[in-house]
Structures are given as C-alpha cells and as structure tokens.
Structure 1
Amino acid sequence: MTPLARAQRRLKAHPLALDAALAAGVLLCMLAGSFVDPHGERGVSWSIRTPDPLSLLLITLGAAALVFRRSAPMTVLALTGTCSVAESVTGDPRAPVAMSAVIALYTVASTTDRPTAWRVGLLTMTVLTGAAMLAGPLPWYAQENLAIFAWTGIGATAGDAVRSRRAVVRAIRERAERAERTREEEARRRVAEERLRIARDLHDVVAHHIALVNVQAGVAAHVMDKRPDQAKEALAHVREASRSALNELRATVGLLRQSGDPEAPTEPAPGLDRLDELAGTFRNAGLQVEVARADHDTRLPAAVGLAAYRVIQEALTNVQKHAGPDARAEVSVVRVGPNIEVTVLDDGAGDAPAPQDGGGHGLLGMRERVTALRGTLTTGPRYGGGYRVHAILPVKTRSSAPEDSA
C-alpha cells in the first residue's frame, strides 16, 4: 500500500481530525485575507491593513464551527451564515468571513438531496448577498458583494455535483454486488439441480439392481441344499445384476470427473431400445413381465428415452418389492399424437404394502424426471387391486426441436 493510500485510509477512519485540519486551513486563509486591503491607497493595487477585533472574533467562530460540519451541517451553516451577515453589516465587509459559510453550504449540498440543496443554497445566497448589498457600507454593486453571490452559488453547485457522483458510484457498486449475488445464487441453484439429478440416477440404479440381487440371493439361499443347480443359476443372476449396477454407477460417477481426470465411459444412456433387456432382468428374478409396444419405432430424444426407461425400471422395482412373489406386471409403450405414453400395471398379488402415492424417493424421482420434460405422471392403486403407473412424455423437447428442424 502506498503512503498516499495509507494516509487516505487513516483520514477516513478519523473524520473529525480531517475536519479540524480543514478548519485550521480555512482559518489561516481568512486571517491572511483580513490583513490585505485589495483597494489600497494612493493608487496602489493592494496594501496591508489591521482588521477589527470583531472581524477576528467572527473569523475564529466561523472556522471553529467547521470542525462539526459532518455531524451537524445545517447548524454549522446557520452559525457561519450568521457570522458572515454580522460581518457584512457591522464590520469590515472585506474580511473574508463568508469563506466559512461557503464551506458549510458545500457540506450541506453534498450530504442532502437535490431539492434541499437548492433551496438552502438559494436562501443562503439571498440572505448573504442581500445583507451585504442593502446594509453594508459599500455600494451594492461592489465586487465584494458580487463575490459573495458567486462563491455561495459555486459552493452549492459543487456540493450537489459531489453528491450526484457519490450516488452514481454507490449505484454502480450496488449493481455489481447484486450481479455477483445473482451469479452465486445461479451457481448454487445449478449445483443443487445437478446434485438432485445425480442422486435420482443413483437411486434408480441402486434400487433396481439391489432389489434383484436381494431376490436372487434369497432364492439361492432357499434352494442351496436341495437344488444346487437352481442356486447356481440364481447366483449367476446375482453376479450379472451386480455387474450391471457397477457399470451404471461407474457411468453416473463419471459425470463428476474433472477435465484432468481419466476418461469417462462412453456408453450411451439407456433408453427404450433396452426395454427387452430390462424386462429380462426382472423375469430372471422371478417376476412375470409382459411387454406390449405400439410406438412404431419412434426415435426419442436421449432425455425422453432415459426418462421412460427409468420410469419403467422404478415401477417394476416397486412391483418386485411390494406386489408379492406371485405378482404379474404389464408394460405398455404407445405413441399417441405428439406424446409417448408409458404404462406399468400389476395385479397386486400378495400381502406386501403398496407404495404410497407421492411418497418415497422412487415415486418422487419419477415425478421429477417426467415434470422436467413437461410431461405428466399419474400413480395410484387400481380398481380391483394392484397398482398403476402412467407417464405421458412429449416426443419433442425444447432441446430436440431445433435438431429435428435442422
């Protein structure tokens, strides 16, 4: 930090000391001016004179009042203006007492609003100039009287200009701070959305595959002694489900890698083209799944295909967990106009509790996925038993529309 910057910081930390120094400087200037006669005698342009004691007293009072110009600007202006009027009427009008009133007027104009500054400026200018012209010993057109008029106007104008500049700088600083806060809030919002999306993906992957592993492990433990071949087959399904879970987890976690990290997997996100594979994993776990498709091989955007795949995956996982061991599930994918409709039904066999509509991370994740694509999701018990999950997804999203038109 430079010595000038340190001095400015020290002065800002002690404003009273700065005002005291300013008052001392103004006092010296007024004292020096009070000993100078600008007219002189015998044709001399100026000469030395001795000021009146009253003038020296008024000069001292006006300069001392400037020490408190920040804390009480209006009071200081009234006091210095009174001293200036008294000097103009009773004393030597050439004594520069009005200098303290000009400094006080500048302070008032720089610390108040514009209408107040102009009203106070006009009042001060009128009172001081009128007192000097009407009650002073000099002619009304004397240059000392005109100087009071000019200097009071300059003081009010300069103070208003400084106030305006401070307001502009303050507004610029506030806009910069507001923009910075907006950027930080936007960054936090995007981070929260990304965390929610990753958490949703992790839940879909883990809930599906762990449910399959749990079922197959239970089958293997049940038939291990009597039917080792079936237990071996169940363990093979456990191995396959765990391998699939690890692959999807690796792909999801790969999204969190930085630019300098190892290359992430390039396997595309799952879609409805892998629906038969998904249904097969549940059939291997003992769930009877029937798939019916009438989407006419519609090409879906990656986001729509992934959302439909995850909805079916989560719905079948809930059937596996809640509908009982003898449950049957039906999956249908139908193209209806500009939308693709996905429906998962089960017969609700067994005594296991059904998922509550609107509760649980699985249903919440499905609803968030569908809503993010401007679709609708309906879930709830079926008439006569069972559960129904119905999702309507738009075939064309905002991001895919420009690509199709191109």
Structure 2
Amino acid sequence: MAEVSDPPSAAERVLRALHQDPLSAAHPTRNDAVIAAGVALLCGAVAYADTALRPDALGWALLGCSALLLVWRRRRPLGVVVAAVACVAAYQLLGNAHAAPVPVAMVALYTVAATGTVRRTVAVGVCVVGFAVSAMSANGVHHVLDVLRTSGWLVAALVLGVAVRNYRTYLAEESTRAEQANDRKIAEERLRIARDLHDLLAHSITLIGVRTSVAAHVLAVDPDRLDRAAIAEALESIADTCREARTELRTTLTVLRADERGPLPDLAGLPDLVRTAAAELILDTDGVHVPPTVGAAAYRIVQESLTNAVRHAGPGATVRVRVTAADGALRLTVGDDGRGPGAGSTTPGFGIVGMGERARSVGGTVRTGPRRGGGFEVAASLPLPPRAPEASA
C-alpha cells in the first residue's frame, strides 16, 4: 500500500514560492487574487486606524482599486505600477491617510524588481519613490521621519525583489549545471556499456565465425572422407564459446540491472582468454600489485587485440601476447605475423578506439600499427600506482 506523504509545512511553501519563477507558477491569477485581497485588508486596517485622516467614500474606492490591480501584477507588472501610482496619487491628493497605500506600492514594486532587469528596476524605483515623496509633501506631510519611513519601505521592497530574482537566477543556473553533469554521466555510462558489450560480443562472435568456417571447410574439402573428429572438435569449441559468451553477458546484464560495477576481469583470466584464441602467452607480473581497474583495462585490451588478430591476421598466423611489469607500468604487447587489419580501409574501427579509451581511463596509452617484418601489433602501457611500504614491526 502506498504511503501518504505529509502536506508541506508553511516554511516549505514559502521556500517553494521563493525558488519558483513567478511567471511560470501554477494558478497565478488565483494566487494573485488572494494576495490582492490580503493587501486590501491590510491597507483598509491601516486607513481605518488613522482616525484623523480616515478616507471618505471616494478614498476607500481608490484604495480598493489600487489593491485590486495586484490581480494582474505578474502579467503586466509595469502597467500595474503605473495604474497603482495613479490611484494612489488621487488618493493622496484627497488628503486621506498617507500610509495606507504603502503595502500596495511595495507589492507592485517587488513584482517589477523580481521579474525585470536591474536597469528597469532602478528606473521604476527612482520614479515611484520620487513621486511618492513629492505627493506626500504636497499633501502636507512635512515630518521628515514619515517621508523617510515611507520611502524606506518602498526601497526595501525593490531590494528584496532584486535579491529574490538573483537567487532564482542562481538556482536556475545550478539546476542547468546539474542537468548537464547528469547528461555527461549518462553519456559516459552509455559509452562504458557499449565498450563492455563490444569487447564481449565481438570477441565471442569472431571466434564462433572462425571455427564455423573451419567446420565448413572440413565438410567442403572432401565430403566422401569426413574428418568427424575435427568437425566434432570445431562444433564443441563453438558450443563452449557460446556458453562462455552467454555466461559473461548474463553477468554484465546483472551488473547493469543492479547498478553496480560487480567483479572486474583481471590478469588471472588471461590464460583462458589466450587459450581460446590459440595464441601464445608470456605473463611476467610476479610480485607486482596490479589494481583492479588496471587489470580490467589490460584484460579488455588483450581481448580486443585477440579479436582483431583472429579476424584479420588470416589462417596460419601466430599470435603472441606478452604482459610484463617494468618501470612502474604494466606493458602489454599483442602481435601477429599475419596480414594485419585494415586492408583497403584507413578508418579505425570501434575496437581500436575502445582500447584507447580504456587505456586513457587509467592514465595509460595504446599504440597500434604494422610490425617490422609483417603483421600487426598492439602495444599498451598502463601506469601502476606506487604501493605504500608496509609498516615494520
């Protein structure tokens, strides 16, 4: 049964309103109507409390009209400011309570500052504050503290609007950067998955294709004298390769479904890998600590190199794999004496590109090209991090 989440608290609602762009908020007219009603009540309370300058019927009408204009403050912020200033000017000229329209002016100026540019905010603020001070002076309000207090509230509304707008801009930029970082992670993960599947399937499918060709050749050379042992050996080798590919593919998919890296291939799997490709292996890493990431990169590079050798070297070619540790690096060499890949093509395939990416992921390099005397060679150097010395007793 699904859990019912608790309704957001008042503080959470305030923070959500601050974080959200006012021009894209849900139900803007309804929310502004509620705000206008609240501001109208506040202005009415302030005007009614001033017994000396309590508004008459026309004053109440102008005050209510100025508050009603806030319903359209998001759609027409400048228009609302101009109309509100006109209503407030007429209200002040009638000698009504001068402090009552201040909440309307504050909300209208805050909206202009929160939705517009700094230049427009400064221009509107100077005009409105100057007009308010002039109107109050013309109305007979000569107390300096009253004028400063009213103009201070208006300036505070402008400053608050600019601060909120800058805060929302900062949040939008942070959200954009987070989305871009997430997109980069997704792209890197997709690239990693593509490399893993390529290394796995390309190697297995290549071996299956070569051994199927051997079986077909045996069947076609002399149908009357079938070498049943050779055919059975080729078919059994194909079946073994299919089982290994299925097992490794299942392991890879399980790791992806669980969103974990899982156990990485390492140098211990090189003998079996080389044996399936009928290659020769020289492994000299005794006593050298090879990190799992370096071991996995070395395994995948050798795997792709053997795939290319089986595919392109041709029948009868000898493939040699040499893995040594020297000068703080793990050095791999996979060479053959066949005709080499890329006959008639100068564009490297995804396999060579993937080998370079795997080497760079651990800070290493890969060099590929023809060998002296014929054939093709892949040479990689993967740096080994220095191992901390063990503490003496």
Q: Same fold (TM over 0.5)?
A: yes
Give the AA of the match of 2:37.
A
Match of 2:190 among 188, 191, 212: 188
Match of 1:18 among 27, 31, 55: 31
Counterpart residue number, 1:278: 278
Counterpart residue number, 1:376: 368
Looking at structure 1, the residues matched to 353 and 155 of structure 2 have their Cα atoms a distance apart, in angstroms, of 67
Counterpart residue number, 1:152: 154
TM-score, with structure 1 as normaliser: 0.67
Q: Displacement, 1:88?
A: 3.1
Change over 3 Å in CA distance of 1:403–1:314 after alignment to 2: farther
Looking at structure 2, the residues matched to 161 and 369 of structure 1 have their Cα atoms a distance apart, in angstroms, of 49
Change over 3 Å in CA distance of 1:357–1:83 after alignment to 2: same
Change over 3 Å in CA distance of 1:54–1:181 after alignment to 2: same
Whether 1:392 aligns to 2:374 is no
Change over 3 Å in CA distance of 1:203–1:403 after alignment to 2: farther
Change over 3 Å in CA distance of 1:202–1:389 after alignment to 2: farther
Change over 3 Å in CA distance of 1:162–1:315 after alignment to 2: closer
Q: Displacement, 1:308?
A: 4.9
Q: Displacement, 1:355?
A: 9.2
Whether 1:179 aligns to 2:170 is no
Looking at structure 1, the residues matched to 32 and 273 of structure 2 have their Cα atoms a distance apart, in angstroms, of 78
Change over 3 Å in CA distance of 1:89–1:273 after alignment to 2: closer
RMSD: 4.4
Q: Displacement, 1:140?
A: 4.9
Q: Displacement, 1:69?
A: 0.5
SS of residue in 2 equivalent to 1:55: helix
Paired-residue identity, %: 21
Looking at structure 2, the residues matched to 101 and 63 of structure 1 have their Cα atoms a distance apart, in angstroms, of 9
SS of residue in 2 equivalent to 1:222: coil
Q: Displacement, 1:75?
A: 0.7
Looking at structure 1, the residues matched to 34 and 76 of structure 2 have their Cα atoms a distance apart, in angstroms, of 17
Change over 3 Å in CA distance of 1:405–1:203 after alignment to 2: farther
SS of residue in 2 equivalent to 1:376: strand
Change over 3 Å in CA distance of 1:265–1:167 after alignment to 2: closer
Residue by residue, what CA displacement relative to the aligned partner does 1:211-239 show, whole Å, maximum 9, x if unpaired? 111112224x5233xxxxxx3xx210111
Give the AA of the match of 1:211.
S
Counterpart residue number, 1:63: 67
Counterpart residue number, 2:291: none
Change over 3 Å in CA distance of 1:403–1:195 after alignment to 2: farther
SS of residue in 2 equivalent to 1:375: strand
Counterpart residue number, 1:98: 102
Looking at structure 2, the residues matched to 205 and 357 of structure 1 have their Cα atoms a distance apart, in angstroms, of 23
Residue by residue, what CA displacement relative to the aligned partner does 1:137-189 show, whole Å, maximum 9, x if unpaired? 22252x43233212101211221222223223323333333333222222222
Looking at structure 2, the residues matched to 99 and 371 of structure 1 have their Cα atoms a distance apart, in angstroms, of 66
Counterpart residue number, 2:290: none
Counterpart residue number, 2:245: 252
Which structure is richer in relative contact order (CA contacts within 8 A, separation 6 or more)?
Answer: 2
Give the AA of the match of 1:19.
D
Counterpart residue number, 2:311: 314
Residue by residue, what CA displacement relative to the aligned partner does 1:10-52 show, whole Å, maximum 9, x if unpaired? x953221221122122222222322333xxxxxxxxx476423
Change over 3 Å in CA distance of 1:21–1:312 after alignment to 2: closer
Contact 1:200–1:365, Cα closer than 8 Å, also in 2: no
Looking at structure 2, the residues matched to 342 and 265 of structure 1 have their Cα atoms a distance apart, in angstroms, of 22
Contact 1:81–1:98, Cα closer than 8 Å, also in 2: no
Match of 1:237 among 230, 234, 255: 230
Q: How does 1:47-62 map to 2 (within 5 A)?
A: 47=51, 50-62=54-66
Looking at structure 2, the residues matched to 4 and 304 of structure 1 have their Cα atoms a distance apart, in angstroms, of 54
Change over 3 Å in CA distance of 1:242–1:369 after alignment to 2: farther
Q: Displacement, 1:252?
A: 3.0
User: Higher mean Cα deviation, 114-123 or 181-190?
Assistant: 114-123
Change over 3 Å in CA distance of 1:165–1:340 after alignment to 2: closer
Contact 1:121–1:156, Cα closer than 8 Å, also in 2: yes
Q: Displacement, 1:106?
A: 0.9
SS of residue in 2 equivalent to 1:78: helix
Looking at structure 1, the residues matched to 246 and 158 of structure 2 have their Cα atoms a distance apart, in angstroms, of 67
Looking at structure 2, the residues matched to 18 and 166 of structure 1 have their Cα atoms a distance apart, in angstroms, of 19
Q: How does 1:112-261 map to 2 (within 5 A)?
A: 112-133=116-137, 135-141=138-144, 143-219=145-221, 222-224=223-225, 231=226, 234-256=227-249, 257=251, 258=254
Looking at structure 1, the residues matched to 213 and 161 of structure 2 have their Cα atoms a distance apart, in angstroms, of 76
Query: Which runs of no fewer than 5 residues in structure 2 stay unpaired?
Result: 17-21, 286-297, 323-330, 360-365
Contact 1:377–1:389, Cα closer than 8 Å, also in 2: no
Contact 2:129–2:154, Cα closer than 8 Å, also in 1: yes
Looking at structure 2, the residues matched to 270 and 214 of structure 1 have their Cα atoms a distance apart, in angstroms, of 28
